[in-house]
Amino acid sequence: MLSMTLEDYLESIFLLGRGRNPVRITDVAKKLKVKKSTVVNAIRKLQQEGFVIHERYGDILLTQKGIEMASRVYERHLAIFSFLVEILGVPEEIANKEACGIEHYIGEETAKTLSLFIEFSRLCPQLQKIIYEDFRKYKNSGTIPDICSEEGKKMLKLTQLKVGQKAIVKKIDCDRSIKSRLLTMGIVPGVEIQVEKVAPLGDPIDILVRGYHLSLRREEAQCIEVEEA
């Protein structure tokens, strides 16, 4: 209904105009880092669609329709921004920039759920604790916190498993290209695998993942850490 670019203009006008400051072409141009002529163009389109009112040489005003649309966009922005900052710990400036792009692609439903998730995390000290302590630790050092590992299970390399044995993938520790191949085959942390067949020298190893048979090179299997099921 409104192109992403026009959504951006609308959102900027909304943000600049909060606190009822009149918004001028130049403000928008500065905020979005485009030339004034470009803004004039965009405003004309927004006016045609009934989102803003703008008289020649005058201030830009949002219509009711414009305010509604803009606040919808801004809510999405805020949800994404908060998630990036509060949950993932992304620096605010980066989070803001990324949210500016993402906000146009995330649907109303998803945005609402994301907002709820943030809200929930703020309300729930337990969740906060896990995110702020355990996840940060995992992120910075790769350490799997104690609260996560179940008792009495050993960590093994996939290559150490015997035929028929089942295990849960816990970690994949190798360089990008192999890792991405493994990921696209559905081998991701948390998934259950079963060893089907091992060739004489341990290469290849046939495994079962989510009902599919896969054949792994030893080199690949070596970097998959699992926990006995």
6 binds, among DNA, its own copies, none (CB under 5 to 8 A by kind): DNA
21: contact with DNA by CB under 7 A: no
Q: Residue 206 to residues 17, 50, 177, 185, 199: CA-CA distances in angstroms?
A: 62, 62, 20, 13, 8
Closest approach of Cβ 184 to DNA, in Å?
Answer: 24
Single out the segment in contact with its own copies by CB under 8 A; choices: 55-63, 106-114, 155-163, 205-213. Answer: 106-114
User: Which of DNA, its own copies, none does 190 bind, CB closer than 5 to 8 A by kind?
Assistant: its own copies
Q: What are phi and psi of 103, to 5 degrees?
A: -55, -25
The residue within the footprint of its own copies, chosen from 16, 61, 130, 208 (CB under 8 A), is 130
Q: Would you say 115 and 75 are in contact if contact means Cβ atoms under 8 Å apart?
A: yes
Q: Does position 26 bind DNA by CB under 7 A?
A: yes
Q: What is the side-by-side strand order in the sheet with 212-216?
A: 155-157, 224-228, 166-172, 192-198, 205-209, 212-216
Buried b (16+ CB within 10 A) or exposed e, 188-223: eeeeebebeebeeeebbbebebeeeebebeeebbbb
Instruction: Please choose, out of 38-46, 49-57, 144-152, 197-205, the segment that lies near its own copies by the rule CB under 8 A.
Output: 144-152
Residues 148-207 that bind its own copies (CB under 8 A): 148, 150, 170-171, 176-177, 180, 183-184, 188-190
Instruction: Find the DSSP H helices in 49-91.
Output: 64-82
Site string for DNA, 105-144 (x = CB under 7 A): ----------------------------------------
C-alpha 182/C-alpha 205 separation (Å) is 14
Binding site for DNA (CB under 7 A): 3-6, 24-26, 33-38, 40-45, 54, 56-58
